[in-house]
Amino acid sequence: MSAPAVAMPVRHQRKRMGIWTATALVVGNIVGASIFMLPASIAPYGWNAVIAWVISLTGAMCLAWVFAKLAMHFPRAGGAHGFMQIGFGDSAAFLGSWGYLVSVYAANAAITITGVSYLTRLIPAMRDVPGSEAGVGLTLIALLTWANARALAGSVQLVSTIIKLLPFVAVIGLAGWTFWHGGMATLAPVHAVPITLSATVSAIGLTFYAMLGLESATVPSDAVDDAERNVPRATMMGTGICGAVTIVSTCAVALMLPVAALTVSKAPISDFISGYLGNSAGLLVAVCAVFSCFGCLNGWLLIGAELPAAMCERGSLPPWFGVRNAHGVPIRSLMIGAIVTGAFVLMASTRVGIAAVNFATLLSTATILVMYLLCALAVLRFMRDGRLPRSSSLLIASVGAVIFSLWAFYGTGWESLGWGAVLIAAGWPLHRMAQRAARHAAERAAPTTLDSTSVAL
């Protein structure tokens, strides 16, 4: 999961994006921090993880097609919340959007833990001080919250985006060189792991996390040349490229390093590269990982603030959440997001090593799937009532997205589903408060309007 592109000021005459520019935007929105710890998460699954990756990428491509078509035919809906609202009403849209918000908070915790884990590669002394990793994570959340509150997110995001892609090239190149010279012998340590349906399903809950953010990849149709063709193509190509890069990188590390070493690794990508190019190269990767992780955290803290503000504008949350400071930032939502993210970090820190990352990862996946499922079902409804043109490809993609979402729900596990259900339900009273406030406001306005009409007569 990666930080979305920072919005730029709208100009009356702007250069429209072509297919390759739009595809690059998609890639930049999806590629994020997950690759840096995912090899350690999926290593115990062996070849089951490879199968899970194929299924996850297929599901992601189906969802990408669903979002591309929705964005193209409903450009003024306001994104996923609007798609769900048009399809199923205010209540369903709230549940999907609130689940997305919880997913952002949980993903922020996973990103924080990953970044701090790689920071211990640079500062090994942190490992020997109890509570230091959680303390550093909370401090960095506070600093990035301050940067967002002062509208400095764009500057931080630009630097981190440039840096974060460097390790991918190194991992893929080293893996290709090693496999070319060693062949299947390089994969020998994982042959003892049996391939089973239950293990594959469990791995899907982890592998699909790396593709979260594909919903932010749909490009506004008025910003792309020949949008009817290029928006779906860019979305599909970008999602496919991200999937291919992430699959090769994570599986190469997971299948080429011993499982015992990976499961206790604080920085699996860095350890992999160190084994070939020396400790200095591994430290450089750790630096890139830290920048990438906290660049992602920076962007998603902003999204976690803007989403409640947007929900306020639609009457789904009380106006209190939408109050903005002098810099135009929804400060109350930003602060709440930082506090909840910090709480998730503390919850995860009670677990050891990669288990902490897996807890936050699976919770993030479980809660965002509510939105994915509702948007896929909305497409089926829109095709049935004629609001979307029927096509066999869209029907297959939307049905595939529904099946995959339900399967991924199961793959996240009962613990994640339980926590997710509780956290999504916790937002319902706020939605009811917003609905009551809207009704009371309408009731107060109605007599005033009537009295004004009477005076005029």
Domain of residue 275, CATH code: 1.20.1740.10
What is the domain range of residue 391? 19-426
pLDDT of residue 371: 93
| Per-residue confidence (pLDDT) for residue 3, from 0 to 100 | 45
* pLDDT score, position 159: 53
pLDDT at 37: 74
**What does R_g of the chain's alpha carbons equal in angstroms?**
23
Domain assignment of residue 10, yes or no = no
Query: Is 432 inside any structural domain?
Result: no
In DSSP terms, which residues pair with 224 in a beta bridge? 17
Number of compact structural domains in the chain: 1
417-455 burial, b for 16+ CB within 10 Å, e for fewer? bebbeebbeebeebbeebbeeeeeeeeeeeeeeeeeeee
Mean pLDDT by 10 residues, the chain (457 residues): 44 56 66 71 84 92 90 79 90 92 88 85 81 88 88 54 66 74 57 78 86 68 66 81 82 76 75 80 80 77 83 84 86 92 84 72 90 95 93 93 92 89 90 83 65 48
Residue 210, phi then psi, degrees to nearest 5: -65, -15
Q: Residue 171 falls within a domain, yes or no? A: yes
In terms of pTM, does the model score above 0.85?
A: no
Which residues make Cβ contacts (< 8 Å) with residue 369, sequence separation at least 6?
99, 405, 408, 409, 412
The DSSP annotation for 61-124 comes to: HHHHHHHHHHHHH-TTS-SHHHHHHHHH-HHHHHHHHHHHHHHHHHHHHHHHHHHHHHHHHH-G
Q: How far apart are CA 303 and CA 10, in angstroms?
A: 19
The angle, 0 to 180 degrees and rounded to 10, between the axes of the packed helices 47-73 and 354-385 is 40
Residue 442 lies in a domain: no
DSSP state string for 175-196? HHHHHHHHGGGGGGGGTTSPP-
452 within a domain of the structure (yes/no): no
Question: Shortest CA distance to 199 belongs to which of 409, 50, 384?
Answer: 50
Predicted pLDDT of residue 421 = 92
pLDDT at 24: 64
Is 234 contained in some domain?
yes
